[in-house]
Each structure stands twice: as structure tokens, then as C-alpha cells.
Structure 1
Amino acid sequence: MAANEQALRVILADDHPIFLIGLKVVIEQNQRATVIAQASAPDELLETLKGEACDLLVTDFMMPVQDQNDGLRLLERIRREHPTLPIIVVTMLNNAGLFRSMLALNVDGLLSKASMAEELPAAIDHVSNGKTFIADSVQRMLLEATDHGSDILVALEDLSPRELEVIRLFAAGNAVGAIAAQLHRSKQTVSAQKVNAMRKLGLANDAALFIYLQEHGLA
């Protein structure tokens, strides 16, 4: 980390103490991020988020405490109360429907605990640069669950060549500013073309767009 680069402030949440230790080690190994607080239950996490300013939340999906074990409900509340907070979810689950529901809540990163050591540093790099990170194992699960219907071709035909060009560059990891520079268009024009493409495809957020393009061979 450069001398003038401030470390990312990270809050961790998991109900397994050993896994919290492992997460902390992986996150702090390159000195780009520092763990400022930890939580082991949903209520504790919500209180911590209220009291600690942070740059990133890395959380388990399920932290059962009495009746409160609905990970989607917890993520929904966090997103409502902290709409701009980047969130990376690390989970042992392997369910395409739940993955899609998490991404619909604008989760910025999604990966498996099994590949956490290899993929979490990359996820943090992506998310800290405003990009979405979806682990290879998660992408495979989503691909296997995809229904390749004829309606997809109809939807893609609705895109203009410029809209298709913009979203393909976005899926390749380029930010709006970089796409604008590459295509010699204004940021406002590129942003509008991306938004129009997502509207035509019925996609609500960047994560959904990323998955859509991966699933259909456009990325």
C-alpha cells in the first residue's frame, strides 16, 4: 500500500469465531484494509454499523440467533439503512435462487467460504474500485440454473449497437469513465446508454447486468 493511501475500514460479521479470525487474516494480509469492528449476530451487526463509520462490510449470510435467521431480511435492512455501503457476502450456501435474491439487493460481492482465501482479496479489490465481484463457483451455479429461452434473443435485439457495446465493455470490468474515454463519448451519454440497456433487459442493478451478460456469452 502506498504511503498516502488510506487503508479500507472493514467491518466483519460471522457467528463462527474461528471463521472471523480467518477472515481478518485474509483481509489484512496485504495491508490495504484493516478490520475496525466485528459482530457475531444480526443485532450486534446492525448496532455496530450505526456506531462505526466503515468503507466495506464483509458478512456471512446466515447468523442464526433465536428467531432471527433470515439472511435476506438482514441484507435488506442493511441496504435500506446504509444504501451506499459496499457489501461482500461470504457463504457456505449453494443455491442459485438465494444468490439471485442477494444480488437483487445490490450486494457488491458474492463468494463461497470454501474459496474465501483465494477470492476474498480479489473481491475487495473489485468492490473498492466500484466493480461487482461474483465468484467463479457462484457464476457456475447461476449458469446451470439459467433457462436459455427464446425471449433472451428478442430482448437483445431491442438493444442498439451502441448500448450493446457499452454493456459489454462494462461487463469486461470497465468503469463508465473509462468506457467514455475509449468510445470518445461523454460520461453522461455512456451512463444513459447503460441505463437504457438495463431497462430494456429488465435488469434492476449492475450485479444483475453482470450475471446476465456472463450467462449469455456477452462478457
Structure 2
Amino acid sequence: MNTSGISEMKIGYDDLDRSAYAKVTGIPLQAGHVSIIGGFSGSTEGAAIVCVAGALQCLLAHCGDLINPSAVHSRVRSAVTRDLIWVRSLALQALNQNSSLILAATGGDHPAAGPGTRQYFYEAAAGFIACTVCGGHPLEGTRKFTVGKKENFGSPLESRWMGEVSKGSAGLSREKANEIVKYLLGKYEANLENAPEGFVFEELYDLEKMKPRTAYLDLYKELRDEMAEEGLSFNP
């Protein structure tokens, strides 16, 4: 079960109801909070502080079993801008070094680019690498800011990318991960305001075989090889 506060540092009765129900019934509860760069947090540094405070709110007010500290930008529709990666990374490191919380991480789950595009893979990889190395557990590999505006806007291959990149970056030093993320930012940062829309499921998958179309799978393999060259470790 999932619950979250209201950004920023507020709590609604519906979230408290879900929290109470989860505790009474024994259902594991993921509790999340989102700070906003340009919101009540103010600056990028303020968003990092509120990101940590929100995690403590999730623990104390919602009694979460899995805590999901996150952040968004008030202007840019991507979860992996340079400043957002910094905010999440700093918050995750602070929480991991000073607590024993189990921390979720959704850094690569909301890219500006759509499914089936090169930029999507770059954005997602940057977020998942940063979160993994800072002690988070990435999840929600197919979410988009455009959910509800376009039908069937996602594919299983995106979740596979999340899993492979996260596992492939486990064990990297923060210095090496920082180097890779900067490389990825150079690939997509200039295009965040004009990102490619991407494709729907029917365009990416063979509906009879329920497998990725050749062009989509080839792009996946190409970018997987590129990430391996940059330092990620993938299984054969």
C-alpha cells in the first residue's frame, strides 16, 4: 500500500486513513514525500533539506515500512534535471548515513522523453544510477508525466532497463557514478524543454508475439553496450 503527504510537509486525512489501515491489517506501507524546487522549499538547497524532513514525516506520521524521499521541479517536466539529481542524491546519502531506513528511489521514473527514444534511456539511467549508488532502491520504471494523457504509454522494456541499470551500477563508487551521470547529462540536458514524445506500446511491441519490435530491442541493446563501456556491469 502507498501513502504520501501533501507537498510540502502537509498531511491529509486520506493519507492518515491509509496509514492506519495498513498498520491494523499488517500490510507493508510505502510512504513518500516530494519536495519542490521552486515551491515552499525555495532553493535547490532548501529542497534537499525538505526532502530529508519529508522522509522523517513519512516515518513518524505514517509509520512507513519503505520510505520514498523524492523531489520535483516546479518548471521542468523531468525528474532528472541536474539539480534534482543533486537533491535526491544528497538526501539519500544523509538518510543512509544516519538511519537504518529502507529507502525507495524514484529518480529515473519520470523522464521528459517518451518511451522508445534514446533520450528516455539516457534520462532514466542517470536517475537510477544516482539513486542506487546513494543507497536507494529504484522502482516504478515506467511512469511518465504524461500518464492519463496518452493511452498505453509505456512498455515492459523500460522496467527491464530500470532493473539492469540499477543492478549494473551497484558497487560503483560515488566518484565513478558521478562521472557517468555527468556523461549522461551531456546527452540529454539541452533537450529537456523539447524532449521527443516517444511511442505507444503498440508501436514498440509486436502484439501477436508480445515481444519488443526489432528496432526497439536493437536500440536497447545499443544503449546497454554504451553503458557497459562507461562502467556499468551487466550479466551476459
**TM-score (ref. length: structure 2):** 0.36
**TM-score (ref. length: structure 1):** 0.38
